[in-house]
Amino acid sequence: MSSPAAIPLRQSLETLVRDAFARSGLDPAHGAVELSRRPELSQFQANGAMAVAKAARRNPREVAAMVVAALADNPAIARISVEGPGFINLSVTDATLAQATAGIAGDARLGAAAADPPRRVLIDFGGPNVAKAMHVGHLRSSIIGDTLQRVFRFAGHDVVSDIHLGDWGLPMGMLIAEIERERPDLPFFVPGSHGPFPAQSPVSIDDLERLYPVAAQRAKDDPAFREAARRATAELQSGRPGYRALWDHFIAVSVGTLRGEFARLNVAFDLWDGESTVNDRIGPMVARMRVDALVEISEGAEIVRVARDGDQKEIPPLILVKSDGGAMYGTTDLATIEARAEARLDLSLYVVDQRQHLHFEQVFRAAAQAGMTAGGLALEHVGFGTVNGPDGKPFKTRAGGVMKLSDLITMATDEALKRLAEAGLAQDATAEEKAGIARIVGIAALRFADLVNHRLSDYVFNLERFTRFEGKTGPYLVYTAVRAKSLLDKAAERGFGAHGLPAAGLGAPATDAERRLMLTLNGFADAVAGTIEKRAPNLLCEWAFLLAQDFNSFYQACHVLSETDVALRDARLTLVATTLAALDRVFALIGIERPARM
Ligand code: ARG
C-alpha cells in the first residue's frame, strides 16, 4: 500500500518559487507561496518580493518581475503576473492541477507530511473530577484534546493521552466525611481497621452526585464538618486503609460512568491516571526540593517562589504543602511532571480552561526550577475559552446549575432527531437506525460547533443552530458526505466503472467548480500542519467546511451520473470518490462519523 509521498500543489509551487528567487540572486527564504486571498484573480500568491526589495533598497515591482521572468516558461504555470506593490499572482495549468490532485488521491495520507522528527507527546485533557458530574468546560477540554491526539497521531507523533482525573483533593475528604455522617456504622470508618472492607460499593454514581453538593454546602456552613473533611483528606492521602477502600469505590463507580459518557462523545484515553497516581512521589519530591533549597516556609505552609525579574504581572508562589501536610492541585501536577519527565516525553500539552493559565504558569516554573524539564520535556498550556449561554455568561441549566455533559449529549441527540424529521431525512429508516443516525448527527453538531471556534474564543451554546443541516455545522458535513456516498452507490448500481478506479482516472478539470474542488483537496496537508503547529483544530474544521462547500458547488454545476461523455463521467466519479475519502479522513481526525445512509 505504500505510495510515494504526494506533494500538494502549494508546496510544490513554493519549491519552484524559492528556486526562482535563488536563481534571481534573492534569498529563497522569501519565496513562500500561499493560497490567493483573491481567488478570482489567481490560485496562489507569493508576497516575498516586497521584503526582499526593502532589505536590498530596490524597487519591489522590479524584483517581482525578475522572479516572474525566471518562472515564465515553466510548463506547470498557466498564468503569472506582478500585481499592486509587488505581489506575484500565479495559477497552474489544468493538467498540473489534475496531476497533483491525482497524487493526493493515491496517497493514504492525502499529501500530509509525516512528523519529522516524531516526538513523544503526552496530551492531558478531559480532567473530570471524581463524583462530580462533568460540565461544559470538560466538554471543551475533551473535544479539543481528543482532536489534538487524533491529529498528532495521524502526523506520526508518538502520542499518549491521559485523562488526569481529579481524584485526590478536598472533595474526596468531604465525601468521606459526609458518608461517615450519614452511615457511621459502615466498616470503612472503624478506627485503626485494616479490613477486610466491603467489596460492594456503598454508593452509586447518583449517590455521589447527590452527596457532593450537600457536602460542599455543609463544609461552607459548618466549621466542624469542614475540619472533619480536611482531616479525612489528609488521612486518605496518608493511606488510612478504610478511607482508601471507600475511595476505591468512588473511583470505580465514577470511572464506569465516565467511560460511557466519553464513548458517546467518541473520546478515548490511553491512561486513566489521576492526581492520586503520583501520591507516592510527593513525599520524596518535596524532600528533594527542600534539600535543593527551593522550598520556603510561609505561614506554616511550604511554598515555592516562582516570580521572576521582569514579570509583567505578579506571579504568586506555588503552595506545595499546606500547613496540615496536605497536598494541593499544584503539588500533584508537579509530581506528575516529574513522572512524565522520567517517562522521557518530549512534550506535554495541557488542554485546560484558559482561566487556569496562572496555575500552569506557576507549576511549569516550579518544574523548571526543580530541574524536571532539563532533559528536554517541554510543557505547554493549551487553553480554551468558555461556553456561554445566550446571556453571554457561562452556560447553565434553566435552574441555574451547571449543565451536565450527559444531559447535553442527550439534548443534542434529541435535537438532531427533530432536525432529521424537519429535513425529511432518514424517515424510512427503522426507529433503531434513526436513533443511531441522530446520535451521529448530534455528536457531529456538538464536536464541530466546539472545534470550529478558535479554542481561545468563547462561544454561545445554541443547539438549534449547531444541528442545522445548512451553514457551517457538523450536520452539514455529515449530510454532504452521505450525499457523496449515495452518488457513488448509484453509480455502482448502474455499473459505471469509476467507483473503484485508480486515482489516475482523474481528468483535467473542465469547469471552475472542479478546479476549486481540486485546489481545496490539495490544501489538506496545510490544514493538518497548521492544526498541529498552532494546536488549533479550527483550521482543520474550516478546511472540512470549505471542502464540503466546494463539493456541493461542483455537484450543482456538473453532471455526474447523467453525463453522457463516459470518460468525463468517470473522471467526475473519481473526483467524487476522492472527495469522499478526504471527508472520511478529516472526519476521523475531528471525531465525527458518517452514517451509511440518511
Ligand atoms: N480536574 C481539573 C478541573 O476540573 C482539570 C485537570 C486538568 N489537568 C491538569 N493536569 N491539571 O478543573
Distance 164 CA to ligand 1 centre (A): 7
In this prediction, residues 538-561 reach a mean pLDDT of 97
- What string of DSSP letters covers 47-85? -HHHHHHHHHT--HHHHHHHHHHHHTT-TTEEEEEEETT
Angle made by CA atoms 562, 567, 571, in degrees to the nearest 5: 85
Residues whose CB is less than 8 angstroms from the CB of residue 252 and which lie 6 or more positions away in sequence, other chains included: 201
* DSSP-based three-state secondary structure for 173: helix
Query: Which residue ranges form the domains of the chain, and what is each CATH number?
Result: 9-92 (3.30.1360.70), 121-165+288-387 (3.40.50.620), 170-264 (no CATH)
Copy the grid coordinates of residue 73. Answer: 516558461
Residues in the chain: 598
Output the pLDDT for position 501: 52
Residue 164 CB–ligand 1 contact under 6 Å: yes
Residue 129 CB–ligand 1 contact under 6 Å: yes
Residue 350 CB–ligand 1 contact under 6 Å: yes
Residue 340 CB–ligand 1 contact under 6 Å: no
pTM exceeds 0.85, yes or no: yes
Distance, in Å, from the CA atom of 14 to the CA atom of 9, rounded to the nearest integer, reads 8
Distance 296 CA to ligand 1 centre (A): 26
Copy the grid coordinates of residue 166. Answer: 481529579
Output the pLDDT for position 90: 97
Output the pLDDT for position 132: 84
Closest Cα to atom 12, ligand 1: which residue? 127
Output the pLDDT for position 400: 74
Distance, in Å, from the CA atom of 472 to the CA atom of 468, rounded to the nearest integer, reads 9
Q: In 78-204, which residue ranges form alpha helices assigned H by DSSP?
A: 94-105, 136-154, 170-182
Output the pLDDT for position 402: 77
Instruction: Answer whether 545's CB lies under 8 Å from 452's CB.
Output: yes
Distance, in Å, from the CA atom of 67 to the CA atom of 58, rounded to the nearest integer, reads 14
Residue type, 477: L
Residue 364 CB–ligand 1 contact under 6 Å: no
Copy the grid coordinates of residue 362. Answer: 506557576
Per the listing, cell 534573492 goes with 26
Output the pLDDT for position 506: 87
Q: Which of 57, 43, 60, 47 is nearest to 9 (CA)?
A: 43
Residues whose CB is less than 8 angstroms from the CB of residue 268 and which lie 6 or more positions away in sequence, other chains included: 146, 161, 262
Phi-psi region of 485 (alpha: psi -120 to 50; beta: other; left: phi over 0): alpha
Distance 149 CA to ligand 1 centre (A): 17
Residue 442 CB–ligand 1 contact under 6 Å: no
Closest Cα to atom 8, ligand 1: which residue? 127
Output the pLDDT for position 397: 77
Distance, in Å, from the CA atom of 283 to the CA atom of 277, rounded to the nearest integer, reads 13
Closest Cα to atom 7, ligand 1: which residue? 127
* DSSP-based three-state secondary structure for 560: coil
CB-side neighbour CA atoms (13 Å) of 300: 5
Handedness of CA 545, 501, 109, 526 (dihedral sign): negative
Residue 166 CB–ligand 1 contact under 6 Å: yes
pLDDT tens, position by position, 247-304: 999 999 999 999 999 999 999 999 999 999 999 999 999 999 999 999 999 999 999 9
Output the pLDDT for position 3: 46
> Which atom of ligand 1 is closest in space to residue 132's alpha carbon?
4
Distance, in Å, from the CA atom of 320 to the CA atom of 323, rounded to the nearest integer, reads 10
Copy the grid coordinates of residue 594. Answer: 458518517
Distance 428 CA to ligand 1 centre (A): 45
In this prediction, residues 20-49 reach a mean pLDDT of 96
Distance 466 CA to ligand 1 centre (A): 27
Instruction: Answer whether 246's CB lies under 8 Å from 207's CB.
Output: no
CA distances from 309 to 6, 306, 318 (A): 49, 10, 17
pLDDT tens, position by position, 482-527: 999 999 999 989 988 644 555 447 889 999 999 999 999 999 999 9
Distance, in Å, from the CA atom of 256 to the CA atom of 248, rounded to the nearest integer, reads 12
Given pLDDT bands bounded at 50, 70 and 90, which one contains residue 404? confident
Distance, in Å, from the CA atom of 495 to the CA atom of 488, rounded to the nearest integer, reads 10
Residue 127 CB–ligand 1 contact under 6 Å: yes
Per the listing, cell 479522513 goes with 585
In this prediction, residues 56-80 reach a mean pLDDT of 95
Distance 127 CA to ligand 1 centre (A): 5
Q: Kindly provide the b/e burial profile for residues 469-502, where b requires at least 16 CB atoms within 10 angstroms of the residue's own CB.
A: beebbbbbbbbbbbbbbebbeebeeeebebbeee
Distance 166 CA to ligand 1 centre (A): 6
Question: How many helices, marked H, and strands, marked E, lie in the chain?
Answer: 20, 13
Distance 273 CA to ligand 1 centre (A): 12
In this prediction, residues 175-204 reach a mean pLDDT of 96
Angle made by CA atoms 201, 203, 272, in degrees to the nearest 5: 70
Closest Cα to atom 6, ligand 1: which residue? 127
Residue 167 CB–ligand 1 contact under 6 Å: no
Sheet arrangement for strand 347-353: 158-162, 120-124, 347-353, 378-384
Instruction: Answer whether 579's CB lies under 8 Å from 506's CB.
Output: no
CA distances from 98 to 17, 42, 69, 181, 505 (A): 20, 17, 25, 73, 10
Distance 128 CA to ligand 1 centre (A): 7
Instruction: Answer whether 479's CB lies under 8 Å from 425's CB.
Output: yes
In this prediction, residues 516-545 reach a mean pLDDT of 98
